[in-house]
């Protein structure tokens, strides 16, 4: 009898454990309000400056990110300057962020001097507006004395998908 009760308890525990795991809610997508954003210079090559944009989870709990952030130059009035960054490379993996964990994306800033001034239409910019993947509320990184192409005839910005930092 004890053996039968022990076996039944083991089976009930196993089944209940499987049911709980099967019904667990997926983690939410990280929202802008959950994230801090920083920028780190990563060098220059072939007329393009590269900066790592780092997203750091600032709240307790966990969330996920996958894909490309939206990146565009903005002026002091928050108006977009030129085209948004084009997506460079594969979409990447789903990454879970816990408190104080980070992911990054690399942004390429093509030098406006690489383009004919009549095509680029150089103009001063305040910085960049960054939308985390699958988010509609922007974050901002300010850059002093930046110049971007105001024309939509060229796209000097590029961005990679987020990756583990």
pLDDT tens, position by position, 54-87: 999 999 999 999 999 999 999 999 999 999 999 9
> Is 158 a residue whose pLDDT tops 90?
yes
Q: What are the structure tokens assigned to 40, written together? A: 């780190």
**pLDDT value at residue 10:** 39
Asked whether the beta carbons of 161 and 89 are under 8 A apart, the reply is yes
**pLDDT value at residue 14:** 36
d(CA 60, CA 45): 38
**pLDDT value at residue 144:** 78
> Is 43 a residue whose pLDDT tops 70?
yes
> Is 50 a residue whose pLDDT tops 60?
yes
What band does 145 get if pLDDT is binned at 50, 70 and 90?
confident
Residues forming a β-bridge with 140: 129
Asked whether the beta carbons of 54 and 38 are under 8 A apart, the reply is yes
Asked whether the beta carbons of 56 and 105 are under 8 A apart, the reply is no
């Amino acid at each position: 009898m004890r053996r039968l009760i022990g076996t039944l308890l083991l089976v009930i525990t196993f089944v209940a454990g499987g049911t709980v795991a099967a019904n667990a809610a997926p983690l939410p997508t990280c929202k802008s309000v959950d994230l801090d954003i920083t920028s780190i210079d990563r060098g220059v090559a072939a007329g393009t400056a590269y900066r790592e944009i780092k997203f750091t989870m600032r709240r307790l709990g966990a969330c996920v990110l996958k894909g490309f952030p939206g990146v565009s130059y903005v002026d002091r009035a928050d108006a977009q300057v030129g085209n948004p960054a084009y997506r460079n490379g594969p979409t990447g993996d789903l990454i879970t962020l816990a408190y104080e964990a980070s992911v990054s994306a690399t942004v390429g800033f093509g030098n406006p001097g690489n383009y004919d001034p009549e095509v680029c239409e150089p103009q001063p910019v305040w910085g960049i507006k960054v939308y985390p993947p699958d988010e509609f509320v922007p974050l901002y990184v300010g850059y002093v004395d930046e110049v971007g192409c105001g024309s939509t005839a060229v796209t000097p910005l590029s961005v990679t998908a987020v990756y583990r930092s």
